[in-house]
Chain A
Amino acid sequence: MVIFQCEDSVDGIFTGVYDAWDSRIGHEAVALRLREKMDLELFAEYREVETDAQKAAKVARSVRSKMGQDAYRVIYQAALSAYPEKADCIYRVIVHGMSANVTKYEAQNVIWNLQSRDVCRVFELSRKVGNEAHRYFQFVRFRELDSGVLFSEIQAENQVLPLIGEHFSDRFPNENFMIYDNGHNDCLIHGKQRPWFILRDTSPDEVAKDQLAVREEEMQELWKGFCRSISVEARENRGLQRQFWPLKFRRWMTEG
């Protein structure tokens, strides 16, 4: 068995797919693993995958054109998952769709195949990542710092920042904002009228992030008051509230 160890990022995993395939060792005799996430196996040969944006882009392009945009989206989202064995599952699904003997029609439907364990796993991972990203459309809370920057801190399970950047930038083109994912130590950064980007392994200035704009506290009080007065006492149902709004999100929220 030859094990390809790649970095935990979309580009890292796609480069791994490229190298493993390109090695011509045979799909049964190779495996793809994330670098830090593995126990070493005896009798296996290890190869380091060096992340290469061009190789990754080639894989992305081929997947898109043969397996279709839907399948690409599913695979891309799965690659952002926190699941430690995601890389190999993704490799298997791509092999499923891209092998020479698979017709284009079959390739376009691979992602709907309920009988393949790997496809079901990738589908499930993708669904979970997508759901979590949606949670952050809901639950990101910005506070205004005295610099005018809107700052938000979240603790995501999966790498959701790449999936929410577009949404918030489209919404706030004229704001300078930053969303810090302290679970992964990544920052999503958007400057007024500029494209957004992600800085990995970066944390914001500890002091600056607590220096609030003058009217910030007043706004927070108005909002908290609103959340209280909009509830109908005769319908009170804390269980239902908890079900929709889990504590792990509330912890980082203004009104939580």
Chain B
Amino acid sequence: MEIAKNMDLYKKLEILSDAAKYDVACTSSGIDRKGSGKGMGNCTAAGICHSFSADGRCIALLKILFTNECVFDCKYCVNRSSNDVERAAFTPDEVCRLTIEFYRRNYIEGLFLSSGILKSPSYTMELLYQTLYKLRHEYHFEGYIHVKAIPGAPQELIEKTGFLADRMSVNLELPTAESLRRLAPHKTRKKILAPMRQVQLSRKEHKNELMLFKNAPQFVPAGQSTQMIIGATPENDYQILSVAESLYQKFELKRVFYSAFVQVNQDAELPALPGGPPLLREHRLYQADWLLRFYGFGAGELLSEKRPNFNVFLDPKCDWALSHLEQFPVEINRADYYTLLRVPGIGPKSAQRIIKARRISSLDFADLKRAGVVLKRAIYFITCSGRQMYPLKIEEDFILRNLMYSQSRTPAETVTYRQLSLFDDDRVFGEVPQQLLQAGV
């Protein structure tokens, strides 16, 4: 496994972006930061996608590995040590130059730097740190940086790196400790959770400092994220979503990403996936994740031991509404923000507009349409001033049949697996801004 010394930059970039592409996180969201006026760059909290690759995913960051050399042998990964693939490594200056030159042409929002394990976790983390240090202090880059914290690297090193990055992530890889043991023999759940906890605690500590001293340096201001591979191991949706929920609650993660397993290695331990990666399942998990973060749902409301997997035909919100008909209809002119949000066909934007508009006068169905409500879904679940739009039965089978009929005709639901704009409730691009969430509360 030789790393060619004089490989040209084009070839390196090809190898090291190809090796990074299975990491699904590519968002630049979570922080608003103006430029200082001296360097180059700023950050926009909603995130900006600059391009879209042939798989329809957003390109926001220069997503690369520092090296695809790796001493570990995770069974699901192309870069595992037992694979015979071409290896390459950047120098810190090469990473900096690419970032700067791409950024100033407005190709990207910043850098997403990850790496295989070169020699040891600490050696690798040190390289990542040096690269970021150069980029911030020699190249004066003020755009977005997402960096991996390598499990097993010394705490001080992770801490120092965190002051240079906007977001840090440690991948959980697989939903349970058992699966991890089976597929990633060099990793343990404990080792993965340790840096996650460290980043969480440091963030808290430095937030307090920031309240005292306005110019204290910021530690991972856009928060941390993680990723789980879906469908390489036997966990059900309920287990996966519950893990995500506890990561949000106990580790205060900003995002959990779900990556449909792509078969890159032949290995007896891995499932055969004749239908390709489980994209629809991944899509349902993203929808449910969105409901956890922005709609106030709990994992236990959406799924249970008895019904551990999502409905293939209905999005999780419709599915929930149908099994909770006793909570409907909702009166549009009175319901609070979170109650409105639970109505299929109403999203954060339309809920906000309803709340503002009804201060002026009470609303009827025509007004709702102008507010952006998707009526063909909502009509089964709402009244305006006590009236339904048509005399409809609030009955599970009847609504199910009608919703499925209307769903099969909304292309956004059936043929595409969107990561961010998730329901045809609302065409939300990027994350929902904080003001929207506070609007009705």
Are A173 and B53 in contact (CB-based, < 8 A)? no
Q: Which of B12-20, B201-209, B287-295, B300-308 contacts A (4 or more CB under 8 A)?
A: B12-20
Cα of A139 to Cα of B357 in the assembled complex, Å = 34
**Which residues of the partner chain B approach A193 to less than 8 Å between Cβ atoms?**
37
Are A231 and B21 closer than 8 Å at their CB atoms? yes
Q: Could you tell me if B35 and A170 are in contact, using CB atoms closer than 8 angstroms?
A: yes
For the complex, is A28 an interface residue (Cβ under 8 Å from B)? no
User: Chain A 235-256 against B: per-residue CB contact (8 Å), 1 yes, 0 no?
Assistant: 1111111011100000001110
**Is A229 an interface position by the 8 A CB rule?**
yes
User: Which of chain B's residues have a CB closer than 8 A to the CB of A144?
Assistant: 104-105
Query: Chain A: which residue is nearest B359 at the CB level?
Result: A109
B163 within 8 A of A: no
Cβ of B102 within 8 Å of any chain A Cβ, yes or no, is yes
Interface string of A129-151 (1 = CB under 8 A from B): 00000100111111110000010
Given A114-B367, A229-B18, decide whether A239 and B415 contact each other with a Cβ distance below 8 A: yes
A112 touches B360 (CB 8 A): yes
Check B10 against A231 for contact (C-beta < 8 Å): no
A139 touches B50 (CB 8 A): yes
Verify B106–A231 contact, CB threshold 8 A. no
Of B58-66, B223-231, B239-247, B248-256, which stretch is located at the interface?
B58-66
CA distance A215 to B63 in the complex (A): 22
Residues in chain A near residue B21, CB distance under 8 A = 229-232
Q: Is B52 an interface residue (CB 8 A)?
A: yes
Verify if A24 is at the interface (C-beta below 8 Å from B).
no
Give the nearest-CB partner of A140 in chain B.
B106
Provide the residues of chain B in CB contact with A115, threshold 8 Å: 360-361, 367
Known: A170-B34, A229-B14. A235 touches B277 (CB 8 A): yes
Question: Does residue B200 face the partner (Cβ distance < 8 Å to A)?
Answer: no
A212 and B279 alpha carbons, distance in the complex (Å)? 42
0 or 1 for each of B31-52: is its CB under 8 Å from A? (1 = yes): 0001101111110100011111
Expressed in whole angstroms, the minimum distance between the Cβ of B407 and any Cβ of chain A is 17
Residues 180-229 (chain B) with a chain A CB within 8 angstroms: none
Contacts of B63 in A (CB 8 A): 230
Q: A221 within 8 Å of B by Cβ?
A: yes
Residues of B within 8 A of A152 (CB): 106
- The residues of B that contact A113 with a CB separation of less than 8 Å are 357, 360
CB pair B42 A222 closer than 8 Å: no
Taking CB atoms, residues of chain A closer than 8 Å to B408 are none
Q: Determine if A21 is an interface residue (Cβ-Cβ < 8 Å).
A: no
**Top-8 shortest CB links A-B:** A240-B56, A231-B53, A112-B356, A235-B55, A237-B56, A114-B367, A231-B54, A245-B52
Q: Could you list 5 examples of A-B contacts with CB < 8 Å?
A: A144-B104, A230-B18, A230-B21, A231-B54, A235-B277
B contact set with A: CB distance below 8 Å: 9-10, 13-14, 17-18, 20-22, 34-35, 37-42, 44, 48-59, 62-63, 98, 101-102, 104-107, 143, 260, 262-263, 276-277, 279, 353, 356-357, 359-361, 363, 367, 370-371, 415-418, 429
